[in-house]
Chains A and B, each alone.
Chain A
Amino acid sequence: ILNVEQSPQSLHVQEGDSTNFTCSFPSSNFYALHWYRWETAKSPEALFVMTLNGDEKKKGRISATLNTKEGYSYLYIKGSQPEDSATYLCAFHSGGYQKVTFGTGTKLQVIP
């Protein structure tokens, strides 16, 4: 069983604050690392797929970095807004038939 951990489990930030959270995954058999945003009562929505060590991806105020050698990825949100409130999931892809292992997520609440 692959161990994919996310921290913190939850956090509350004030509107306008920047924040970041971590996804840790095995450093061997790396294929890809996915980030998803999951708002309550909606479908998980893909943010990034990262495949190369040192990858940095950006989408608006959200960005992510990847370190495959040490097995972690950071997700950053700059100037958090209430609409950023969601659970952020990472998924470690170790190859094979799209076999991905999800973390338990970081639940972000942005307070207006």
Chain B
Amino acid sequence: ETGVTQTPRHLVMGMTNKKSLKCEQHLGHNAMYWYKQSAKKPLELMFVYSLEERVENNSVPSRFSPECPNSSHLFLHLHTLQPEDSALYLCASSYSKAGSTDTQYFGPGTRLTVL
């Protein structure tokens, strides 16, 4: 257990559905992240939040919409996804504000399949 939980662990959705991924950290961290891992590719950073403010948006399509209501919770709202968006979505958190070298603590991921 890393102190970072993600729900659901698996999600199957159609291209017209709207769904949300949830991440919660119990570590008192100040920064939270969304990563995507597609098959045979490295982890790709999608979004970074520091103290609930979005500080990085890595050219992610608008069909992915993040939300960080407080420093412990992070959501990824999904709308009108494409089959190529099927991947493992990982959430992570770190103690310090963005810009430090602090280790990131990862959740177990949500395996998303878009039909």
Contacts and interface: CB of A to CB of B under 8 A. Distances in A.
Interface stretch (A14-22, A60-68, A96-104): A96-104
A10 to B, nearest CB: 12
Contacts, number: 67
Interface residues of B, number: 28
B21 interface: no
A103 B42 contact: yes
B43 A34 contact: no
- Of B4, B43, B98, B99, chain A has the most CB atoms within 10 Å of the CB of B43
24 contacts: A4-B42, A32-B101, A41-B108, A42-B108, A43-B2, A43-B4, A43-B106, A43-B109, A44-B90, A45-B2, A45-B106, A46-B104, A49-B101, A49-B102, A96-B56, A97-B48, A97-B98, A98-B48, A98-B56, A98-B104, A99-B56, A100-B45, A104-B40, A105-B42
